[in-house]
Amino acid sequence: MLYRLADAIPTIWLVLTLVFIAMRILPGDPAIAALGDGALPEQLAEFREKMGLNVPIWQQYFNFLIGTLTLDFGKSYMNGAPVLDLIARNLPYTIQLTVAAMILGTVIGIPFGVLAAVKRGKLPDSGMRIFSLVGYAVPDFYLGALFLIGFALNLRWFPINGAGSGFFDILHHLFLPALTLALVKAAFIGRLTRTSVLEVLGKDYVRTARAKGARENRVIYRHALRNALLPLATGMGLSLLATLSGSVAVELVFNRPGIGRLLIQSITERDYGVIQGGVVVFALMVVFVNLMMDLLYVVIDPRIRVK
């Protein structure tokens, strides 16, 4: 496992470097963005000095890497708050959203996929096909906007913005954004489950289970599903990553705090430190998700456990 962690280091470094380069290539001067068009040259110089923007580019890069290692991303150009604080304040909301969407998507997607596989060619299967087509075709921000207008603005069942406080209030705020992401995810997971279960249902050990006298439900949930989860686990990992990126759009639509919105905001403001910090956190989450997937494999598949 430690080895896998070490494996991820070059990936993270690459991401960091790409972000750094992208930030410098993008047009726009962070000092002007922060202080406004009317700022005096001395003010701009002072700002650059304070934020470490006046040293040669390779040194900025070096400082950035060192800063990342020590989890010090400097201060926000806009409001002077430490980047780490900004991230720490926003991260929990993104995690809430992603986890809720993941759970909801799995809880909807897997049973739906199993049903479609078992009732192959019948109504649930067609339903699944339509659902997954829609799920693929409709972008999540659009779906989010629909939900927002329908259930929050018109019906007033849900709040229109923010993240809420207190357990139930949080859930109340979380529901629509999470559902938005979850439906797209459920379409994906459902389709994947269907394919995977169909394949497994044709296996010899499924026939063995039937030959023992297991009834269909047992055959499906005890024998087929667990084997079908193996290929599904990879798909779930990918889908979790897709949710992370989808959370950016959804946070904007629902005006929720979170890393995604923080990133978008700081990109428009050329807030280098925050962008870099945000991207590093995203990259770390991706690496973390991949590690969790590897762990999940070990739990599901005894053949890996032994080696």
Interface ranges with other proteins (CB under 8 A): 202-205, 207-215, 222-223, 226-227, 300-303, 306
Residue placing its CB nearer to other proteins in the complex, 156 or 307? 307
CB of 116 vs other proteins, minimal distance in Å: 16
* In the complex, minimum distance from the CB of residue 193 to other proteins, in angstroms, rounded to a whole number: 16
Residue 232 CB, shortest distance to other proteins, in Å, is: 13
CA distances from 45 to 20, 29, 31, 52, 53 (A): 21, 12, 8, 10, 9
Task: Give the span between the Cα atoms of 242 and 232, in whole angstroms.
Answer: 15
CB of 12 vs other proteins, minimal distance in Å: 33
| Of residues 1 and 211, the one with the C-beta less far from other proteins | 211
d(CA 127, CA 106): 17
CB under 8 Å to 281, separation ≥6 — which residues? Answer: 87, 91, 259
- CB nearer other proteins, residue 38 or residue 213: 213
- Least Å from the CB of residue 196 to other proteins: 14
User: Is residue 174 within 8 Å of residue 163, measured between CB atoms?
Assistant: yes
Closer residue to other proteins in complex, CB, 108/200:
200
> Distance between CA 93 and CA 257 in Å, rounded?
6
Cα–Cα distance, 81 to 117 (Å, whole number): 53
Residue number with CB closer to other proteins (13 or 205): 205
